[in-house]
């Protein structure tokens, strides 16, 4: 499974990229606003930090507007994936942009029928929102499993991105369910490496090494 980092904070992206932990970046208007910086400037800087897809979201609600905005976003970097909402207008824009060979991430997916339509429209990526479904008493992971089965049944190439990831278990179960990608906030991505027994083991090794009075260098 590939990892995208869900943020507009350059320092976090750079740190995780240097560790080889990310395969792309997802952003949205809320994340860009939180950064307090110019939208295009931030997106351009992110595109330089990773060779993988960088999702940048349109704000228009009609298909012609989304297409115009999408083409403008594509000028920012060669690895831009235009992010459009899962609406009929969004699917029209998706079809037009992917038809020209561009990457499109169809976002705000909340059921399997929506995911099926996005794949039919040629979406490069589909983003089911796990955390938001869980917040409303619906099993987000069940949706991922349904999408995986549908895509496998019909040979769709659309990659499934587990989005709205809130916990490390979301990541684990998304991987088990066959998600192609998880887009994860930096804090959660960093926490995946942690385990108290790992820390305890390092502490014991260091204590034993200290007793030897030796140095490696």
Q: DSSP letter string over 33-84? A: HHHTS-HHHHHHHHHHH-SS-EEEE----SHHHHHHHHHHHHTT-TTEEEEE
Contact present, 103 and 80 (Cβ < 8 Å): yes
Residue 160, strand partner residues: 126
Q: What is the pLDDT of residue 157?
A: 97
**What distance in Å separates the CA atoms of residue 171 and residue 140, rounded to the nearest whole number?**
12
| Average pLDDT of the chain, as a whole number | 95
- Rounded Cα–Cα distance for residues 65 and 93 (Å): 9
Q: Where are the domains of the chain?
A: 2-212
pLDDT attached to residue 34: 84
**Euclidean distance between CA atoms 154 and 101, whole angstroms:** 21
33 pLDDT exceeds 90?
A: no
Phi-psi region of 80 (alpha: psi -120 to 50; beta: other; left: phi over 0): beta
In 10 A of CB 186, how many CB atoms? 18
Q: Say which CATH superfamily domain 2-212 falls into.
A: Aldolase class I (3.20.20.70)
How many CB atoms lie under 10 A from the CB of residue 202? 10
Residues serving a catalytic function are: 83
pLDDT in tens, 153-192: 999 999 999 999 999 999 999 999 999 999 999 999 999 9
H helix or E strand, kind and range, residue 107: strand 103-109
Q: Residue 17 gets which letter from DSSP? A: H
């Amino acid at each position: 499974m590939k990892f995208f980092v869900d943020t507009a904070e350059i320092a976090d992206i750079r740190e995780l990229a240097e560790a080889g932990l990310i395969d792309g970046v997802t952003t949205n208007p809320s994340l860009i606003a939180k950064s307090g910086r110019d939208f295009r400037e931030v997106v351009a800087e992110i595109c330089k930090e990773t060779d993988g897809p960088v999702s940048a979201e349109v704000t228009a609600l009609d298909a012609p507007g989304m297409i115009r905005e999408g083409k403008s976003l594509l000028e920012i970097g060669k690895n831009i994936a235009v992010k459009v909402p899962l609406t009929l207008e969004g699917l029209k824009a998706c079809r037009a942009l992917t038809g020209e060979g561009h990457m499109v991430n169809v976002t705000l997916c909340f059921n399997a029928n929506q995911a099926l339509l996005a794949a039919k429209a040629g979406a490069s990526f589909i983003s089911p929102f796990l955390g938001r479904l869980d917040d409303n008493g619906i099993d987000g992971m069940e949706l991922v499993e349904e999408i995986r089965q549908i895509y496998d049944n019909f040979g769709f190439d659309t990659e499934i991105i587990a989005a709205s990831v809130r916990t490390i278990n979301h990541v684990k179960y998304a991987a088990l369910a066959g998600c192609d990608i998880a887009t994860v906030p930096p804090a959660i991505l960093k926490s995946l490496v942690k385990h108290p027994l790992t820390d305890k083991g390092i502490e014991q090794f260091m204590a034993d090494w200290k007793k030897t009075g030796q140095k490696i260098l």
